[in-house]
Amino acid sequence: MSQLRVLVTGGGRGIGRAIALCFAREGAKVVVAARTSTEIDAVVAEIAAAGGQGLAAQMNVRDRGSVEAAVWRATQFTGDALDVVVNNAGVFEPRPFRELDQETWERHLEVNLRGAWYVTDEVLDALEDGERPHLFNIASTAARQGFAHNVAYCASKYALRGFGDALREELRERGVRVSTVYPGATDTGIWDGVPGDWDRAAMKRPEDVAAVVWEAYRAPDGEDVADLDVP
């Protein structure tokens, strides 16, 4: 098999960074996409320092034009095809329902759901031209269970789960595998500033999620990788 070609959104930190570095260690060419240029530049520098190949592609998943431009850069780097795309960009802003304003509600839907649609729509041709193409949507246990103070987050992640379920049925005959990943609480910067007494030392690590994604990609054809829990 030729060199893997990978695109990870939200790749500048946390789970996205861990996934990008995991695939880079396995020899993949990795496009690291996110809004903050300093963060994605730092991840690409880590990849290069380890002898890998990476590209920083600034992308705001709320902006269709930004997504289109970043995907164009990505495919120029990878040779017009992608083997793995990871929809990881997301927001998490807990607040009681009575304090949930329209801007926060819409931000969750735009980033966690519409962003995945924008990215998937833009990469699909390149993905179908890849080898054993695989699309991953990073959801959450909040896509299966409701949590107080997380109406917007749960709604967006439940919808992302449905997006993946329907897309899997549609893309199966075209040879594209679609997986939804359900991490529990994971110790990333997304918790910085979230009110509450959180035992972050007891949370999962971003590398735990990355390992699940890598193993699912490596899984033989025919193995069920539709819904992926993080042990």
Nearest to 9 by CA among 111, 156, 131, 141: 111
Here the tokens at position 136 are 């991953």
- In the Cβ-directed half-sphere of 185, how many Cα atoms lie within 13 Å? 10
Phi, psi of 54 (to 5 degrees): -140, 160
Tally Cβ neighbours within 10 Å of residue 58: 17
**Per mean pLDDT, which range of 20-24, 126-130, 140-144, 185-189 is the poorest?**
185-189
40-84: pLDDT as tens digits = 999 999 999 989 999 999 999 999 999 999 999 999 999 999 999
Residue 65's contacts (CB-CB under 8 Å, 6 or more residues apart) are: none
Indicate if the pLDDT at residue 152 is higher than 80. yes
Q: Is 163 helix (H, G, I), strand (E, B) or coil?
A: helix
Catalogue the active-site residues. 153
Q: What is the pLDDT, as a whole number, of residue 186?
A: 76
What single letter denotes the amino acid at residue 77?
A: F
Angle formed by the axes of helices 14-25 and 37-49, nearest 10°: 30
Residue length, the chain? Answer: 231
Question: Greater confidence, 119 or 204?
Answer: 119
DSSP 8-state symbol, 219: S
Rounded distance, CA 130 to CA 112, Å?
A: 25
Best CA proximity match to 28, nearest among 110, 108, 132, 121: 132
pLDDT above 90 (res 193): no
pLDDT at 191 over 70: no
Tens of pLDDT, residues 80-133: 999 999 999 999 999 999 999 999 999 999 999 999 999 999 999 999 999 999
pTM of the entire predicted model: 0.95
Asked if pLDDT for residue 134 goes beyond 90, the answer is yes
**pLDDT score recorded for residue 200:** 75
Report d(CA 180, CA 205) in Å as an integer.
18
Q: In what helix (H) or strand (E) does residue 178 lie, and over which residues does it extend?
A: strand 177-182
pLDDT at res. 85: 98
Domains of the chain and any CATH numbers? 5-220 (3.40.50.720)
